[in-house]
Amino acid sequence: MYIPKHFLVEDRAQIFDFINNNGFGILFSTHNNCPYASHLPFFLDKDEEYLYSHFARPNEQWKDIQGQNAMVVFTGPHSYISSSWYETNQSVPTWNYVAVHVYGRIEIINEQNEIINSLERLVQKYEEPNSPYKLDKSNVMFIEGLSRGIVTFKMKIDKLEGKWKLSQNHSEDRQRRVIERLEKSENQDAREISKLMRNNKKS
């Protein structure tokens, strides 16, 4: 990913927090010698630095992905930035956004206990805190049956790239103008970008 120095984020903890909060990613690999992508929910094991997810078995991306150096893209809020918000018209519009690219090799998981454990962790991550739903003895046979229709995998994280494009290359005055305009927007992403910009300025 092209990352000018103004926008580069290298703090691993910050990037991992971002992945945890934006865990629906896009997995890119090569399938039949062509680029291929799948939109998937991921679970991050911070300690072991692995990403876990699964394919629907009819999705043939899994068939030749074992051992491939693949990439997962996680995206956050994004917003158009109008140059009309600046102090001069000698400027151009841009787009502010936050994104992370993760690189690593894919390992297909065949051991049934590890498959179920991966599913349990995904459910625990994405269910609401007080949700009554969980994977336990009451539905284990049903889940094991359905698990035959998926292909579970993990990816060891070899490389992380973080890009926080939040107008850091502009003056303090311009950043303030952009924040104020984004805060007034009805668009949720725009308001989220304004919060990130404020936090970035404080840090």
Amino acid at position 141, single letter:
M
Q: Which of 19-28, 86-95, 156-165 has the lowest mean pLDDT?
A: 86-95
Tell me whether residue 20 is in a domain. yes
C-alpha to C-alpha distance for 100 and 75, rounded to whole angstroms: 6
pTM over 0.85: yes
For the domain that residue 39 is a member of, what is the CATH number? 2.30.110.10
Q: Is 190 exposed, middle or buried (0-12, 13-18, 19+ CB in 10 A)?
A: buried
Tell me whether residue 175 is in a domain. no
Provide the number of structural domains found in the chain.
Answer: 1
For residue 13, is pLDDT > 90?
yes
Q: Produce one character per residue of 32-44: b if its CB has 16 or more CB atoms within 10 Å, e if not.
A: eeeebbbebebbb
Tell me whether residue 178 is in a domain. no
Q: Residue 55 corresponds to which tokens in the numbers above?
A: 């394919």
Tell me whether residue 176 is in a domain. no
Tell me whether residue 188 is in a domain. no
Q: Output 71 or 200, whichever has higher pLDDT.
A: 71
The fraction of the chain above a pLDDT of 70, given in percent, is 99
Tell me whether residue 189 is in a domain. no
Range of the domain at 96: 5-169
Tell me whether residue 141 is in a domain. yes
Q: Do 61 and 38 meet the contact criterion of CB atoms below 8 Å apart?
A: yes
Tell me whether residue 130 is in a domain. yes
Q: Residue 132 corresponds to which tokens in the numbers above?
A: 């009554």
pLDDT tier at 84, thresholds 50, 70, 90: very high
Question: In what helix (H) or strand (E) does residue 28 lie, and over which residues does it extend?
Answer: strand 24-31
Q: Do 177 and 29 meet the contact criterion of CB atoms below 8 Å apart?
A: no
